[in-house]
Amino acid sequence: MSIGLGLIGTGFMGKAHALAYRAAGAVFGDLPQVRLALLCDTPRDKADAMARQFGFEAATDEWRELAASPDVDIVSITTPNALHKEMALAAIAAGKHVHCEKPMALTLEDAREMEAAARRSGVRTIIGYNYIHNPAFAHARRLIEEGVVGRPVHFRGIVDEDYQADPDLPWTWRAKRADAGLGALGDLGCHLVSMAVGLMGPVESLVADTQIIHQTRPLGDGSGRGTVENEDAASAILRFHGGAQGALSTSRSAWGRKNKLDFEVHGTKGMIAFSQERMNELQLYVNDGPRSQQGFRTILTGPEHPPYGAFCPAPGHQLGFGDLKTIEAASFLRAIAGDAPNHPDFTAALSFEAVIHAIDVSAREGRRVNL
């Protein structure tokens, strides 16, 4: 069996998907064969050039052609968020499996529509919540499941970057809700939610607030200043279904933070802490052994933390961001081949994205929002 990949987009995430699907089979010995069948970008000569670089068999500048192509089994969607819905619905309609970048869509309604379509169709879907594929994250989950830190009772999370920290950056369509949807919550916050839910279970309700730090930005043509319509920062206080509580914050205007995506799980016997900027480390404290020897341990990921060993048999040698994407692609290929769940599928991802929209609603309406 050979699976044909059709990839739409060649930017940050497009390249990440291309590299991941190129690498996955060689890293893991158990995957079905993948063909890099068709690459779509515009203009056409760019699509051709990138297809050559990435090793795709063919190129197109018509995404609908890609979605309909008999050579394509998986449609990978890495275009701007506003385009996800239409592309995903077309791919699903054509019976293709869909690998779509997050967030699913600009609005919760659109995401729901996508989820319903996927559920009805029976195709396999996955949303690019790459950070939950980190062996360190999988280990955190395992530690919780095995009771190493006891019952998880409290969660803390932060996800910050600084790509909108500079007040002098020009206004772009990303500041417009109609074109970009949410701000920091859609770009960053949803990643943190994917981790929170993965560790603590589903969110029951929340109170929240959001902040537009830079209310206006200079228009690129020098004609004045444009209004920023979506949040630069947001915070929420969560209640989980299981009884735990927690807090999370995000900012896209946090100077010096490049990919700060940190969480803490407070358990009744210990604590787990993680920071994406040191993605090969997991912090673990367990109330065990002599008190005088207790402390947070810095666990360096290694072969003891699958699937790290598929990349490197030596511990502490470090995986990178691209490797997370390779794990994601591999897991999707396994799901398609039939022997594993595809996580997070549109249904799971919808549950993550419902949280960021609930944060937005809570902030705008000044009330607790139930999920």
Q: By CB under 8 A, what part of segment 179-208 binds a copy of itself? A: 207-208
In the shown chain, the binding pattern of residues 288 to 327 toward a copy of itself, with x for contact by CB under 8 A and - for none, equals: --xxxxxxxxxxx-x-xx-----xxxxxxxxxxxxx----
The rounded distance, in Å, linking the Cα atoms of 102 and 351 is 13
The rounded distance, in Å, linking the Cα atoms of 47 and 63 is 11
Element (H, E) at 158: strand 152-160
Q: Which of 139, 133, 164 is nearest to 28 (CA)?
A: 133
Peptide bond into 80 cis (omega under 30): no
Q: Which of 96, 97, 133, 139 binds a copy of itself (CB under 8 A)?
A: 139
Q: How far is the CB of 30 from a copy of itself (least distance, A)?
A: 9
**Residues found in the chain:** 371
* 366 lines the binding site for a copy of itself (CB under 8 A): yes
The rounded distance, in Å, linking the Cα atoms of 322 and 314 is 18
* 147 lines the binding site for a copy of itself (CB under 8 A): no
Alpha carbons within 13 A on the beta-carbon side of 333 = 28
Which residue, 88 or 324, has its beta carbon nearer to a copy of itself? 324
Site for a copy of itself in 206-245 (CB under 8 A): 207-209, 211, 213, 233, 235-237, 239, 245
Q: Is 330 helix (H, G, I), strand (E, B) or coil?
A: helix
* 173 lines the binding site for a copy of itself (CB under 8 A): no
Q: How far is the CB of 244 from a copy of itself (least distance, A)?
A: 8
- Looking at residue 202, its amino acid is P
* 166 lines the binding site for a copy of itself (CB under 8 A): yes
Q: Which of 178, 364, 368, 370 binds a copy of itself (CB under 8 A)?
A: 368
Give residue for tokens 């279904």: 241
The rounded distance, in Å, linking the Cα atoms of 158 and 186 is 14
Q: Which of 58, 68, 247, 340 binds a copy of itself (CB under 8 A)?
A: 247
Q: Which of 4, 6, 189, 267 binds a copy of itself (CB under 8 A)?
A: 267
Q: How far is the CB of 15 from a copy of itself (least distance, A)?
A: 8
The rounded distance, in Å, linking the Cα atoms of 109 and 318 is 39
* 2 lines the binding site for a copy of itself (CB under 8 A): no
* 174 lines the binding site for a copy of itself (CB under 8 A): no
* 270 lines the binding site for a copy of itself (CB under 8 A): yes
Site for a copy of itself in 32-91 (CB under 8 A): 49, 53-55
Q: How far is the CB of 131 from a copy of itself (least distance, A)?
A: 10
* 22 lines the binding site for a copy of itself (CB under 8 A): yes
Let me know: does 117 contact 105? Beta carbons within 8 Å.
no
* 271 lines the binding site for a copy of itself (CB under 8 A): yes
Considering only the stretches 107-115, 117-125, 141-149, 175-183, report the one whose residues sit in contact with a copy of itself under the rule CB under 8 A. Answer: 141-149
* 119 lines the binding site for a copy of itself (CB under 8 A): no
Q: Which of 5, 279, 356, 358 binds a copy of itself (CB under 8 A)?
A: 279
Residue 134, token pair as written in the block: 């980190």
Query: Which residues contact residue 166 at a Cβ distance below 8 angstroms, ignoring those fewer than 6 apart?
Result: none
Give residue for tokens 């969660």: 155
